[in-house]
Structure 1
């Protein structure tokens, strides 16, 4: 004879199963929600990858266009080089002539440079003489002015009593200044004589130098473009 379970036990077991069922349902629901999140995340990743692929496709298209452009440029350059090679033989003959002429001009230029260096040194000497001459002329002018002032003072004292000593002193100073003035005049003449001795026409040498320099530049330019 089967023994029936007490009602209380049946109720407890039923509640336990209900509780397990609720827990299982929640667990399954959580799994579903988590699965949806993963799907959404994957969809975002796929969308991002698609955008990246589109971007890469555009970049590749641009690069392909650039490659085509560069290839076209390379072809044009090859054609240009081919044409230049055809012309080079004629230009080589002209270049030899320019080079020979250039050697001659460089030789002339070297000689003229030496002359020019010498003229520069002479100019420096002349400049020092001119500086000294200017200084001497200024000192001369100052002495003349001082002599003029003292002679005027002496003349004013000429008819005044008790001023003979002062006048004699002034006249003595004037005499000394005149001696100094004579010395400055002698120095001025000496400087001018020196200038006359070393004075040469340096412009002619300078012009020769620049003419040869221009000829060299012209030859170099022609040989460069030949």
Structure 2
């Protein structure tokens, strides 16, 4: 049996693994957990009653977290002409055209988000097998294929995140850092949950959110009652 650290055992004493907590209750409990030696990301995991193998049951979208993620995102813009200067002035970390596409094909992946102008998608399309599995492929649905480069860069820098179900029907998203206050984490969590609820596919019948949990990067998961959480975000 693996030996557990004192910190992990201390967390187990605080978190009842058999209990379903409320959303705010979970956030407040999270703040009581023993801290790690670094500022951990707070992750939210939402299991949905969808089958991602069917196109009409895909759940994907973007949402701007009111308090950001606490992480500085490195934004890459693939554009040409005057849009290159616009991207640079908006604060993009990397800007290029076909040259940067070739660089990515060569193995360079030192960025966290990619924005492309529609006219460059003929070139960016070559990167599908590289960026797609990493959730980095630009898409009009998520606002990352656009001529409004400045707005897109600023939104991502301010805390806009993309959410998408994995092959198991689960959404994993960072909603902040452990250094955030309980109110900040709660605000971010409810905005994400609302966005996921709004993205419910018409093909889904019955219960949509099957389970919900929250956890720090190296911590114990806190189970949340989906029905109670949905009621909380309506009341708040």
TM-score (norm 2): 0.18
Q: In proportion to residue count, which structure has more helix? A: 1
TM-score (norm 1): 0.18
Q: In proportion to residue count, which structure has more strand? A: 2
Structure (1 or 2) with the larger CA radius of gyration: 1
